[in-house]
Amino acid sequence: MRTLLRWAGENPKREGLVDTPARVVRSYEEFFTGYHLDPVELLSRSFEETDGYDEMVILRDIRLESHCEHHMVPIIGRAHIAYLPEGRVVGISKLARVLEIYAKRLQIQEKLTAQVANTLNDVLKPKGVAVVIEAGHQCMSTRGVHKPGVSMVTSRMLGAFRDDPSTRREFLAMISAPRGAFEG
C-alpha cells in the first residue's frame, strides 16, 4: 500500500496516511473473507421435515457487495435466488450466505451467478435452481466509459427452471412483483 501511495504521488509518512496501509489491509480482509469460507459445508445442514412442501422457495432483493477481478473496485447490486425443493430445504439465511461467500472474493458477475446456482444445485440436489443478479459495476461508472446508472443482469437457470417454461415464468413473475408488502 505504501508503494501504491508513493506511486500516486503521495507521501505515505504524512499524518493522515500513516495508518492507511493497515486500514486498507483490514478492509481487504473484510472484502475478501470469502476465500476462507466453504459454501458446501455451510449448506450441509438441511431439513427434511417440511410436511411435503414442494413449491418454489425464493429469496429476493438480497444485497450484493463484491469486487471485480479486473479492476478491484466494487460491484453493488442485488440477487434473487430460488430453488424447487426435492424433500430437503435449508434455512433461508443460508441462501444469502452462499451468495456472500462467493461475493467476498474477486469476481466477475457471470461467474458469481454460476457459482451460487451450481453450489445450491450440487449440495441440495433440488428439482431446480434459479439465480438472477442485477448489479452496477464501479469500473464502468467511475472510470473507463463513465456510464453510471447502468446495471448488468445475469441469470442461471438449472433443472425445472431451465426445462419448464411455466416454472421459469412463475419465478420471473415473483421476482418482479411489487415490493413493500412483506419486507420487515
Q: Give the nearer residue to Zn ion in terms of CB position, either 90 or 133.
A: 133
Q: Is residue 130 within 8 Å of 82, Cβ to Cβ? A: yes
Asked if residue 139 binds Zn ion (CB under 5 A), the reply is yes
Smallest distance, Zn ion to C-beta of residue 149, A: 17
Residue 30 bears catalytic tag: no
User: Which residue out of 100, 115, 137, 170 is catalytically annotated?
Assistant: 137
Exposed, middle or buried: residue 7 (CB in 10 Å: 0-12, 13-18, 19+)? Answer: exposed
Residue 137 bears catalytic tag: yes
CB crowding 97-115: b at 16 or more within 10 Å, else e: bbbbbbbbbbbbbeebbbb
User: Which residue out of 65, 71, 86, 134 is catalytically annotated?
Assistant: 71
Asked if residue 76 binds Zn ion (CB under 5 A), the reply is no
The grid coordinates of residue 135 equal 448489479
Smallest distance, Zn ion to C-beta of residue 19, A: 28
Contact residue for Zn ion among 13, 23, 26, 70 (CB under 5 A): 70
**Residues 105-134 contacting Zn ion, CB under 5 A:** none
Total residues binding Zn ion (CB under 5 A): 4
Residue 71 bears catalytic tag: yes
Binding site for Zn ion (CB under 5 A): 68, 70-71, 139
Catalytic sites, residue numbers: 68-71, 109, 137, 139
